[in-house]
Amino acid sequence: MLWVLIALQWLHILAGIFWFGSALTVHIIAFPAFRKFPPETRRAIIEAFAARYGRLVGAVAGLTILLGILRGLVGGVQNVLTSPYGLTWLAAIILAVAIAAFEGARLSPAVGKLIAAGESEQILALDERLALYGKIELSGFLVLFSLMIAMRFGY
Whole-angstrom distance, CA of residue 35 vs CA of residue 144: 28
Mean pLDDT by groups of 10 residues along the chain of 155 residues: 94 97 96 94 93 91 98 96 96 98 96 93 94 98 97 91
- The DSSP code sequence of 115-155 is HH--SHHHHHHHHHHHHHHHHHHHHHHHHHHHHHHHHHTT-
The reported pTM is 0.93
Whole-angstrom distance, CA of residue 114 vs CA of residue 46: 8
Contact call for residues 114 and 43 (beta carbons, < 8 A): yes
The size of the chain, in residues, is: 155
Whole-angstrom distance, CA of residue 73 vs CA of residue 67: 10
